[in-house]
């Protein structure tokens, strides 16, 4: 049987590392925004970057308010492959001034895996039910904030798929 302390510890790790991951994702999408020639695709990246930055801040505040924030966690280790995807993508982007359509398509294929991870499965099906027992009295407000993040993540996943489809089907002159 899982103890309340174990659930609280896990929830603290998830909240803390989700915030760290969202901040890294925000930086990644901002880098993509700055290295993309297509102004519409760049705008999509900028929106995802701004949303992810907001998510990071909200998740950090939720962790603080609920007294679940963990400073003693190695998020790179805890998140494993998801964090590694972001790190590898950022390292790659640091070597580029601009991305060709082919390079951008490859990056989008990898980021789709990441968007699938940080989307509904994590926040809605795992995090929100776990949070229920550890939230202050105004829990419905925090759940609404978390649901808003879930909706943003659904948009991010759809947007990345749409960018990938655009890069696959449109010619460079489009």
DSSP the chain: ---HHHHHHHHHHHHHHHHHHHHHHHHHHHHHHHT---HHHHHHHHHHHHHHHHHHHHHHHHHHHTT---SS--HHHHHTHHHHHHHHHHHHHHT-SS--HHHHHHHHHHHHHHHHHHSHHHIIIIIHHHHGGG--TTHHHHHHHHHHHHHHHHHHHHHHHHHHHHHHHS-TT-
Rounded distance between C-alpha atoms, residue 111 and residue 140, angstroms: 31
* Predicted confidence band of residue 35 (pLDDT cuts 50, 70, 90): very high
* Predicted confidence band of residue 57 (pLDDT cuts 50, 70, 90): very high
Whether the predicted pLDDT of 1 surpasses 60: no
* Predicted confidence band of residue 136 (pLDDT cuts 50, 70, 90): low
* Predicted pLDDT of residue 32: 95
Whether the predicted pLDDT of 171 surpasses 70: no
Task: Provide the whole-model pTM.
Answer: 0.85
* Predicted pLDDT of residue 174: 44
Distance between the two ends of the chain, CA-based, in angstroms? Answer: 58
Q: What is the pLDDT of residues 20-30, one digit of tens each?
A: 999 999 999 99
| pLDDT top residue among 145 and 50 | 50
* Predicted pLDDT of residue 15: 87
Mean pLDDT score, 33-38? 95
Mean pLDDT score, 80-101? 88
| pLDDT top residue among 55 and 6 | 55
* Predicted pLDDT of residue 94: 92
Task: Write down all domains in the chain, each with its CATH number in brackets.
Answer: 4-169 (1.20.1260.10)
* Predicted pLDDT of residue 55: 92
* Predicted pLDDT of residue 54: 96
Rounded distance between C-alpha atoms, residue 28 and residue 11, angstroms: 25
């Amino acid at each position: 049987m899982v103890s309340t302390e174990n659930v609280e510890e896990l929830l603290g790790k998830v909240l803390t590392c989700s915030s760290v991951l969202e901040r890294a994702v925000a930086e990644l999408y901002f880098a993509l925004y700055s290295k993309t020639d297509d102004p519409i695709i760049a705008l999509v990246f900028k929106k995802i970057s701004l949303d992810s930055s907001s998510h990071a801040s909200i998740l950090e505040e939720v962790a603080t308010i609920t007294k679940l924030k963990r400073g003693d966690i190695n998020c790179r280790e805890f998140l494993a492959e998801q964090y590694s995807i972001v790190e590898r993508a950022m390292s790659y982007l640091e070597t580029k001034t601009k991305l060709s359509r082919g390079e951008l398509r490859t990056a989008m294929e990898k980021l789709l895996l990441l968007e699938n991870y940080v989307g509904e499965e994590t926040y809605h099906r795992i995090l929100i039910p776990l949070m229920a027992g550890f939230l202050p009295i105004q829990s419905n407000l925090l759940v609404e904030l978390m649901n808003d993040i879930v909706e943003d993540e659904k948009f991010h996943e759809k947007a990345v798929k749409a960018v990938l489809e655009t890069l696959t089907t449109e010619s460079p002159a489009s």
